[in-house]
Amino acid sequence: MEICFKVNGGDTGLDNEKLNQILQNQTQLMALIDDLKTQVSGLQTQVTDLQATIDAEQAQIQQLLDTNAQVVTDLNTQIATLQAQVAAGATPAQLQEVINSLTTVTDTLATSKTDLEGTVTPPPAP
């Protein structure tokens, strides 16, 4: 597209060249701005997806922390029960019951630890 203006006493050819160059530059700038808008939109989508992933990971970590806290509480309860039974002269059946409970709690803790290790990537070694 060429734009022509008549200017009294001026070099209209030179003025028209300048105006056409300005129009070309503006067209190029608008194309670059459109490209940048597209890139920014893509980055915004990636940031939104990343935030969703981070939120999910944080929820999973919190759940594991809560589970581990419960496991610690259960272990403390079992220890107190065992101490009371030993002090009172527990029967072999009672001791076996405590052993079975501790085994269950230990298995739960091992499963939680494995799940946590699969969720959280350890930092690289120095």
pLDDT, one tens digit per residue, over 42-83 is 999 999 999 999 999 999 988 888 888 888 888 899 889 888
The answer as to whether 85 is a domain residue is yes
**CA proximity to 2, closest of 31, 17, 10:** 17
Tokens of 75: 């272990």
The answer to whether 98 and 84 have CB atoms below 8 angstroms apart is no
**108 Cβ neighbours under 8 A, 6+ residues apart:** 67, 71, 74
- Degrees to nearest 5, angle at CA 97 with 70 and 84: 75
% residues pLDDT > 90 (the chain):
30
Chain segment 82-97, per-residue pLDDT in tens: 888 778 776 788 778 8
Q: Identify the sign of the CA torsion 93, 94, 96, 101.
A: positive
The answer as to whether 126 is a domain residue is no
The answer as to whether 4 is a domain residue is no
**CA proximity to 62, closest of 21, 112, 123, 107:** 112
pLDDT: which is higher, 11 or 106: 106
Q: How many domains does the chain have?
A: 1
Domain extent, residue 111, equals: 12-118
Model's pTM, two decimal places? 0.47
Tokens of 118: 């699969």
